[in-house]
Amino acid sequence: MDGASAESRSRPSPDVVLRRLHEIDEVSVRRELEGFNEWILDELFCSEELTIAVDFTVGPYYGEEDPRLISDSRLPGTDLGIKFAVLSVIEEGKTFTLKTR
């Protein structure tokens, strides 16, 4: 055994995650997500009433500084964060995230 914990062997390092994120074709992923969101909306609009929730969240960011980031000392392990909004449809106790920006 190399002495590494099972947790560290099963999770990629933050650098690996960041590198993989940079390799993603943003246009293709956006197209796929928006198509999936449209499908969800088509399925949900068969009901008569919808409950839509908007949630504003700040997530911790561990990469290099960027002008789009915000400063928040309450974040775990960093003072940098990404602020985003999530639009969700809630139906029959289930939540479907439609868009995150």
pLDDT digits (tens, 9 = 90+) for 28-52: 888 998 898 788 777 766 666 777 7
Burial 73-100 (b: 16+ CB within 10 A, else e): eebeeeebbeeeeeebbeeeeeeeebee
Whether 9 shows a pLDDT value over 70: the answer reads: no
**pLDDT above 60 for 84:** yes
Find the farthest-apart pair of alpha carbons in the chain and give their distance in angstroms, rounded.
58
Query: Tens of pLDDT along 47-80?
Result: 667 777 888 888 899 988 888 888 888 899 998 9
What span, in angstroms and rounded, lies between the C-alpha atoms of 96 and 53? 10
The predicted pLDDT at position 60 comes to 92
Q: Is 35 helix (H, G, I), strand (E, B) or coil?
A: helix
